[in-house]
Structure 1
């Protein structure tokens, strides 16, 4: 390439860079170099890289002959002439960045024509009736914009005192004043972004207000927290300055179910589902080592549940206990030498040779059986005439017009049963093909409920909109911990 071509190429790349081209690739930087040697002094080079507050490349990159080479970070990349831009902190509305009505540019939403707002959530021309608009602005408690904003075309415009924008959220329910650093008055100490009153810190910073800085680089921190299977803290904890804070799912706080330098050990694997009655590891017949059972002499099995004195082999014993299920005793009891003991002991609602019947499934969280409109047979509701549904909760006929019915089934954005069910008598009947869809408006995903031993809520509670609501005597994220009387 001749000299003129060199000049034109460098000018073109420089234009792309100054427009905020998102790259940390050194192939795209231009420098005042001749033959690969920088002609700028160190002072001049750093001066070009400094932000107005004196940080070199915003603290997110390295200065190379007056040009910032930005370091990519999860969940996005820093870019811009001084690494000042990062699109992953753009405002969102209804879970969508820039409301899908614009694009993110250097942390700010550039809205499509006809839309405005920090998240492009407001429409300039409104075709909604006033009543419908107001209904869309009501929070779950029925208060318009949480009394901290005004309603515009079905969206809340939150109060903006002193132009700081500290009241946020779809219904102005978030108070970002909780993110202010008491000493400096800055949001998240100037080292993070506030989402609904919680600080999400930039790489290298941590603390409730992002007030503490790590003494190691983000790269080294990530390396130290990476587990042998390549996951950050084994997906069971958070990484802070190279150390994993493991999620402790034991609500008693006496000890951590999950531990290890990278949270690689999960002691829950040593608990058989119903050994939680006595809280014994490895069925009380072994030692738990990093989530694996080392059985005592005379016992065998993944959780030391099988006595070697039994005339049946472990495989034969489990086969007898399984019946038509993949789990011994349908996950509702303890298998010992081919015989099931259903749990909780003395609770007649769990019964059958293989504990295959669980009449608790007929109850709602208040304990009402089949909605008061049927009876339970082996865990299934047999409904009275005129009623149907899993728990006989739907009447077959009603004195309601289709319009009245559909109004009760619409979500705040006007979608009938969240697009995942049908409307009947003002109630949503969620799609039976998608078993995980639930909620009054089919807005919930029960796959988000915690599992233990492959069972949602361990079979000891009901999944309610992604969270386990445990029956009496059970607790834990997955209702896996027995806190009732010992047996």
Structure 2
């Protein structure tokens, strides 16, 4: 008898717990009878409404008190009110949550000892203040871009009244560019902002993700998928099922990209090592969707090889390359194993494989080796008492160290922008970082456009991020020959 009473006393709370667990499901089932919602409008909206007043976080539809979120594949919205979006967890140094935590509902949960929005800050710092500040400097040598404070080598950006619109490793990004003027929301509430640019959720587009497509995201993706399975062949942007092909690719190479899915790339027809005649198929063929159809008597991927030549295409190119990775070092035309250096009639480019380019000895004004040396196969041989790539530095001067450093300081008091040393009132930029240049080492030559992997295509000089082309050349990367044809 006592055992029965005991069992009854244990079962009652257990049943109550089970009823409580299924209460929401049971109520929902009762609210939908014969597929007709029995909840009042206010009641069902209350169940779907987030604390900030949005229905299903603005990312789904409310169906009788249950949120049906919009997307259903990787990059989806999920959660009871579509409040989670697993595709927007922030990254740091290319790692989600700095690889010091994990992504939970769009927010980083940091490992022990780390904190911050991207788990980028270490709670206990072993760096000195000087080393910490060096790690916080942007490319211009400014700590946290003057829009944040440095903490153990990482920038804590200003919060702008709690809106956290200043972002980036060095606080270089201003995400206020992503604010929708009408709603005040980031990317209209339909995307994520990365360094001032909106990346829209599926089915939305526009600078601020303000426009919605009239077809489903999956139909849009299907229409934009190229034969090789890539979206717009990785050479364009898909908007509502239509590809907008890029005019310029990220490397700066100009090209003619077209086709419904950007599958045709006319750049494949460019006569890469012969820019002085017809730019397509070496002037000996027709370009059809990125493939050269050669005229009679010519062969090769770009119709560059005459069939009358006793050498094969590969043997011809091998002879023209020599020790370089480019035929004729990218400075001439290869035909049947022989290099013709260009520009025509310019004896500054010479050698069996056009390996010598004496233009490299000239500065922006055209002076050779600073007037303090002579050029030998593209390299300056300096007179006694001078040194540097262009013999521009005197070995001795009558300036004191204090006088010299005063001349080398930038407006903010940093010596040679923190990227070089001072000698006789001139900045000598770090030789380990070849891309640093300028009177105060303030320039980044990596910003200069490239073509064929060469800065300014080897046909000009990089002057503080912009290509200064030699005579006969034009284009952002000095890749276009406008001199006399031959």
The 2-side partners of 1:337 and 1:150 are apart by 60
Q: Secondary structure at the match of 2:84?
A: coil
How far does residue 110 in structure 1 lie from its aligned partner after superposition? 4.1
Residue 321 (structure 2) pairs with residue 301 (structure 1) = no
Find the aligned partners of 1:345 and 1:92 in 2 and give their Cα distance: 51
For residues 217-228 of structure 1, the aligned pairs below 5 Å read: 217-228=216-227
The equivalent of 2:204 in structure 1 is: 205
Q: Which residue of the partner structure matches residue 59 of structure 1?
A: 59
**What corresponds to 2:213 in structure 1?**
214
Aligned to 1:482: 481
Q: 1:152 to 1:340 in 2, by over 3 A?
A: closer
State how far apart, in whole Å, the 1-side matches of 2:323 and 2:92 are.
47
Specify whether residues 348 and 182 from structure 1 end up closer, same or farther in structure 2 by C-alpha distance, changes over 3 A only.
same
Aligned residue runs from structure 1 range 29-428, under 5 A = 41=32, 43=37, 55=55, 59=59, 66=66, 71=71, 76-92=75-91, 97-98=96-97, 102-111=101-110, 117-120=116-119, 129=129, 133=133, 136=136, 140=140, 142=142, 145-146=145-146, 149=147, 151=149, 153=151, 155-158=155-158, 160-161=160-161, 163-170=162-169, 172-249=171-248, 257-308=256-307, 318=317, 321-325=320-324, 327-362=326-361, 375-382=374-381
| Contact 1:450–1:468, Cα closer than 8 Å, also in 2 | no
Change (3 A) 1:477 1:214: farther
The DSSP-based 3-state class of the residue aligned with 1:178 is: helix
SS, match of residue 333 in structure 2: strand
Task: State the shift of 1:269 in Å.
Answer: 1.7
* Structure 1 residues 317 and 176, CA gap change in structure 2 (3 angstroms): closer
**Mapped contact 2:87–2:106 kept (Cα < 8 A):** yes
- Check the 8 A contact 2:55/2:62 in 1, yes or no: no
Supply the RMSD in Å over aligned alpha carbons: 5.6
Q: Secondary structure at the match of 1:238?
A: strand
Q: Distance in 2 between matches of 1:374 and 1:319?
A: 35
2:114 and 2:123 in contact (8 A); partners too: yes
More deviation in 264-273 or 296-305? 296-305
Q: Sort the Cα spacing of 1:191 and 1:349 in 2 relative to 1 into closer, same or farther, 3 A.
A: same
d(CA) in 2 for partners of 1:276, 1:438? 26
TM (norm. structure 2) is 0.66
Instruction: Indicate the structure (1 or 2) with the bigger Cα radius of gyration.
Output: 2
Q: Structure 1 residue 272: deviation in Å?
A: 0.9
Say if 1:321 and 1:338, in contact at 8 Å, map to a contact too. Answer: yes
- 2:310 and 2:150 map into 1 onto residues whose CA distance is 75
> Could you tell me which residue of structure 1 aligns to residue 413 of structure 2?
none
| 1:445 to partner: Cα distance | 11
CA distance in 1, matches of 2:98, 2:60: 28
Match of 1:25 in 2: none
Deviation at 1:339, TM superposition (A): 4.0
SS of the equivalent of 1:220 reads helix
Superposed displacement of residue 202, structure 1: 1.5
1:459 positional shift: 3.5
SS at 1:189 equivalent: helix
Deviations 1:227-272 (A, max 9, x none): 222222222222222222111139xxxx961111221211112121
* Distance in 1 between residues matched to 2:295 and 2:272, nearest whole Å: 20
| Structure 1: distance between partners of 2:302 and 2:107 | 53
Deviation at 1:376, TM superposition (A): 3.4
1:297-335: CA deviation from partner (whole Å, max 9, x where unpaired): 343333233445667765665565444545433332123
Rounded to whole Å, the distance in 2 between the matches of 1:145 and 1:239 is: 34
- Corresponding residue number in structure 1 for 2:6: none
Question: 1:364-401 CA deviation, whole Å, 9 max, x = no partner?
Answer: 6776656777543223454666888877789999999x
Change (3 A) 1:124 1:328: closer
Q: How many aligned residue pairs are there?
A: 437
Deviation at 1:65, TM superposition (A): 10
Q: Distance in 2 between matches of 1:303 and 1:386?
A: 50
Whether the aligned pair in 1 keeps the contact of 2:69 and 2:77 (CA below 8 Å) is no
CA distance in 2, matches of 1:446, 1:130: 27
Report the Cα offset of residue 94 of structure 1: 5.9
221-230 vs 209-218, which deviates more? 221-230
